[in-house]
Amino acid sequence: MNITVDGGRPRGRPKTRWLDRIEEDMMVLKLTEEDAFNRRKWRNQTRYADPSSWEYGQEEEKD
pLDDT digits (tens, 9 = 90+) for 7-39: 777 788 888 899 998 898 888 888 898 988 999
Dihedral class, residue 12 (left if φ above 0, else alpha if ψ from -120 to 50, else beta): left
Q: How many helices and strands in the chain, by DSSP H and E? A: 3, 0
Band of pLDDT at residue 54, cut at 50, 70 and 90: low
Beta carbons of 35 and 41 less than 8 angstroms apart:
yes
Domain residues for the domain of 24 are 18-47
What mean pLDDT is predicted for residues 39-45?
88
Number of domains making up the chain: 1
Evaluate whether residue 36 is within a structural domain: yes
Evaluate whether residue 59 is within a structural domain: no
